[in-house]
Amino acid sequence: MSKCVLVTGGAGYIGSHTTVELTAAGYDVVIADDLSNSDMSGVEGVRAITGKEIPFVEMNCLDREAMEKLFSDYKIDAVIHFAAFKAVGESVAEPLKYYSNNVETFVTLLQTAAKFGVDNIVFSSSATVYGQPDVLPATEQTPRKPATSPYGNTKQMCEDILRDTVAASASLKGIALRYFNPIGAHPSALIGELPKGVPNNLVPFITQTAAGVRECLSVFGDDYNTPDGSCLRDYIDVVDLAKAHVTAVSRMLDGKNKERYEIFNIGTGRAVSVLELVNTFEKVNNLKLNYKIVGRRPGDVESVWADTTLAETELGWKAERSLDDTLKCAWEWEKRVRGL
């Protein structure tokens, strides 16, 4: 009998791509999402790609009664927890909204999983926990810096909650995946990143500017201590990122984890500047973007990219998709959404 994975926040950007890859790997998947930052198009896209009527439960993970019903309705073997608010600026303006949603939902999930004997949890963490590392690239042993936003703080807190809960349990296993900068869309163009309102991430802003939805792209700063003066990041294709979750789940279910709590960086190991990303998008899609250089944005770190050695050697996972292909897929997705 195939194993069942609960994907909280599975209607969202990374959750929908992960659901596709889990299904391709032979897992049964249940999606739980309150659709606060997504809509049913993500679920419908997943169903179209997989050809399967994947179960969807509309619920908030803070709702303990709904959570317990979900665990009693389905025989769940593992959970991947994506459900969280993720806008850095909003978290600064509304910290309690973020602490309540991001931390309390995870506590509720862990309590419910324990009650129902579900012992395998993958947590969606972030490279924001590193801040501006003193040494690059960042390894899993790179010290975490004090978070620069409540959003980043919730990621650190949830990592600690998972670590401590695993330590206090005889059987619970947990893996925290620290993503760098997920970009792109599924090659089918049936799912991709569709932020509500003004995008917080660079690539949706690029594609929306190319599509004429946004008038101009702002590049924040060209005076950093980097080769072209713009910030350096590690941009990981969302399909590659999704596959990392499949290997993490398989690692726990197959009993191959070396520790009961593990952390892995999920990135490409390559630093790409903001301007390089913009120029590559223009080149591979044969178009010109309207962009301008503006002042630095508060809270932006200058450079961060991953050392992915541990994920490659332990998980047997490696980023495979090229930046060119990723940016082509991002544009194909945007064109389909806009009817271009």
Tell me if 255 sits within 8 A of 301, measured CB to CB.
no
**Which helix (DSSP H) or strand (DSSP E) does residue 204 occupy?**
helix 202-210
- Beta strands, E only, 159-300: 173-179, 181-183, 217-220, 232-233, 235-237, 261-266, 272-273, 291-294
| DSSP 8-class letter at 88 | H
| Closest listed residue to residue 99, CA positions, set 26, 154, 173, 168 | 154
Q: What pairing do the DSSP bridges indicate for beta strands 120-126 and 232-233?
A: unpaired
Q: 3-state class of 231 per DSSP?
A: coil
Angle between helical axes of 323-338 and 202-210 (0-180°, round to 10) = 50
Catalytic residue among 151, 224, 235, 261: 151
Q: Are 105 and 61 in contact (CB under 8 A)?
A: yes
How far is the CA of 57 from the CAs of 32, 61, 69, 108, 221, in angstroms? 5, 11, 10, 17, 43
Is residue 152 within a helix (H) or strand (E), and if so which, with residue range?
helix 150-168
DSSP β-ladder status, 181-183 and 272-273: unpaired
Active site residue 151: yes
Backbone φ/ψ region at 9: left (φ over 0), alpha (ψ -120 to 50), beta: left
- Give catalytic residues, as residue numbers: 151
